[in-house]
Amino acid sequence: MYMKHNKICWDLLSFLHVNYSTFEQKNSSYCKQLKHVEVYDQMIKCSIKKVQIRKTFVL
């Protein structure tokens, strides 16, 4: 949820999702995979990772 409310992060995820083809190169597996990823899914993955990092520092 944090990533969705953070305007910079959300704009970046939206930009990557919509404009990946502009930067796609023949051997770029990241760009090819991004074509099939929804921005919402990416936001959830980033949020989970952020929470796990915070938890590590708290412990």
The per-residue pLDDT for 59 is 47
| Average model confidence (pLDDT) across the chain | 54
The per-residue pLDDT for 13 is 64
The per-residue pLDDT for 38 is 55
In the chain, what are the domain boundaries?
2-58
Question: ∠ at Cα 24 (21, 25), nearest 5°?
Answer: 150
Residue with tokens 């597996």: 29
- Cβ(9)–Cβ(42) below 8 Å: no
- Local structure of 59: helix, strand or coil: coil
Q: Which residues of the chain have pLDDT under 50?
A: 1, 27, 41, 47-53, 55-59
- Written as one string, the DSSP assignment of 6-49 is -HHHHHHHHHHHHHHHHH--TT-HHHHHHTT--HHHHHHHHHHH
